[in-house]
Chain A
Amino acid sequence: MRIVDPHIHMTSRTTDDYERMHAAGVRVVVEPSFWLGQPRTSVGTFCDYFDSILGWEPFRAQQFGIAHFATIGLNPKEANDPRCREVLTELPRYLEKDRVVAVGELGYDSMTREEDEVFAHQLALAVEHGLPALVHTPHRDKLAGTRRTLDVVRESGLAPGRVLVDHLNEVTVGEVAGSGCWMGFSIYPDTKMDPHRMVAVLREYGLERMVVNSAADWGRSDPLLTLRTAEAMLEGGFTEDDVDRVLWRNPVEFYGQSERLDLDGVLEAGEPVAATSGATFEGNSVLRGSRDA
């Protein structure tokens, strides 16, 4: 089985997770920039964070045979903090990086006027830099927030097929299904979605434009819930091809729209490269992988 985790915050995870994820078939991860749990107080710390998810973290992932990409953006929570907002002027240079496959994660937290402005501004940046956008839906007032999100997307000029609306559930999926946007589901141990509820959603809404992620971060979460969802799909009567579509082909198609999702070295003849369990750390493959040729 081959798996893309299209939304996971690897800077918060250990090397044990990388090993377990590789063993489970995960070969590609996308790390959206987001809130760190502790509020930032300056633009400089934002840049250090962006540099980290574009620098050290891809290198770390590579040791475990996993290709790491990122999405870059100002998250809605910190869009409300004037000390952080200035990072908007730094974004254009980050949005040109090879490993940036979308703008994000964007969207609403408390649905303030500041969040409106920053959200619309960054959707315009997505258009300008030829990138798709990863948009999360708010934790609170979720249904109204999802509707408002889709309104802003509609006004942005960014094609709905280039927008992934994430953290959906049974209540919000129907709103997005008709919009043409991609639908993302974060499978959590006890909130958001679980594998069996996810299978029910797939049965009702089909597999088109559907992606599943673990959204694992510094909170209670599990990077293997992508695999658990795949297993639940198989138990629920879906085929291996269905699983491959949701866990691999769909996220590859979505982020592939950036034309920067370079999967060289991740697959051989369409199959995941054999497990290395970190053995590349002292070997040449790390250095080989760094060359462009």
Chain B
Amino acid sequence: MTWTDDARRSVAADGESVLALFPAAARHARTEGLDGERVRADLLVAIPGPVDEVARLVTLVYQRGDNVEKLAVLRALPDLDHSTGRRPPVGGALVDLLRDALRTNDTRLVGAALGRYGADHLEAPTWRQGVVKALFTGVPLDEVEELSTRSDATLRRMVADLVAERRAAGRDVPDDAWRVVDADAAEATVPGRAS
């Protein structure tokens, strides 16, 4: 049996074992010609038990993880939000991980927090702040799930303000800003602009 098969079975039998197996999983996966992040996601999906227990273990894996491990956890959240025969969907039980990721300045984590799980579970104020932070830090808005359906008047106002601030400073406006606001509408909001 390969290391990764063995690891998946261990976690399915005893969820707690994910704590020891998860950090080394990606490099073992690579030696087997597998994608490290995929194998890490498989380990999380294999954790059995009620939502509280799964959420406790996934949170510990995230908190103890380096940034690449954290990224793997964030990207696995949509998978955890589907039921398997051995556990129910986690629902919003792991939304605190997204809040943590959005507080970091690691653009990979910020982008991942705005994926499918974030689109489904982040409350509007946090989600909007996340989108503006993505624009600020150069995360492509392609990574933001449900951008058009979740955008609202408040987000458009926030992004228009960002555009105005950048223009007032003579700095470039990120191209992705125009995916949220209408270019003509943003023109009108530039303060002190001679017309």
Contact = CB atoms under 8 A, between A and B. Distances in A.
Interface of A: 51, 54-56, 58-59, 93, 96-99, 259-260, 281-284, 286-287, 290-293
13 contacts: A55-B70, A56-B104, A58-B66, A93-B23, A96-B20, A96-B24, A98-B24, A98-B66, A284-B140, A287-B107, A287-B111, A287-B140, A293-B35
Given A55-B66, A98-B23, A283 B138 contact: yes
A54 B66 contact: yes
B9 interface: no
B183 interface: no
Interface string B67-107: 11011000000000000000000000000000000001111
Q: List 6 tightest A-B contacts by C-beta distance, closest first.
A: A282-B138, A292-B36, A54-B66, A96-B23, A55-B67, A290-B108
A99 B69 CA distance: 11
A292 B35 contact: yes
Interface in B22-61: 23-24, 26-27, 29-30, 35-38
A260 B64 CA distance: 19
Given A286-B108, A290-B108, A292-B36, A59 B23 contact: no
A97 B107 contact: no
Contacts of B140: 284, 287
Overall SS of chain B's interface: helix
Contacts, number: 62
A285 to B, nearest CB: 11
A175 B59 CA distance: 48
Report which residue of B36, B37, B66 has the largest number of chain A beta carbons within 10 angstroms of its beta carbon.
B66
Nearest to B27: A98
B190 interface: no
Contacts of A260: 27
Interface residues of B, number: 29
Nearest to A293: B35
Report which residue of A58, A283, A290 has the largest number of chain B beta carbons within 10 angstroms of its beta carbon.
A290
B19 interface: yes
A138 to B, nearest CB: 31
A3 to B, nearest CB: 24
A124 to B, nearest CB: 18
Contacts of B111: 287
A167 to B, nearest CB: 27
Nearest to A292: B36
B68 A290 contact: yes
A58 to B, nearest CB: 7
Given A56-B106, A287-B111, A97 B37 contact: no
Contacts of A54: 66-67
A260 B31 CA distance: 11
Given A96-B23, A99-B66, 9 more contacts: A51-B66, A54-B66, A55-B106, A59-B106, A59-B108, A97-B23, A287-B111, A292-B35, A293-B35
Given A93-B23, A293-B37, A58 B67 contact: yes
A292 B38 CA distance: 9
Nearest to A55: B67
A293 B68 CA distance: 13
B31 to A, nearest CB: 9
A212 to B, nearest CB: 28
Contact of A98 (B68, B70, B104): B68
A283 B27 CA distance: 26
A284 B194 CA distance: 36
B193 to A, nearest CB: 26
Contacts of B38: 292
A281 B138 contact: yes
Contacts of A281: 138
Contacts of B68: 98, 290, 292
A284 B111 CA distance: 12
Contact of B71 (A93, A97, A284, A290): A290
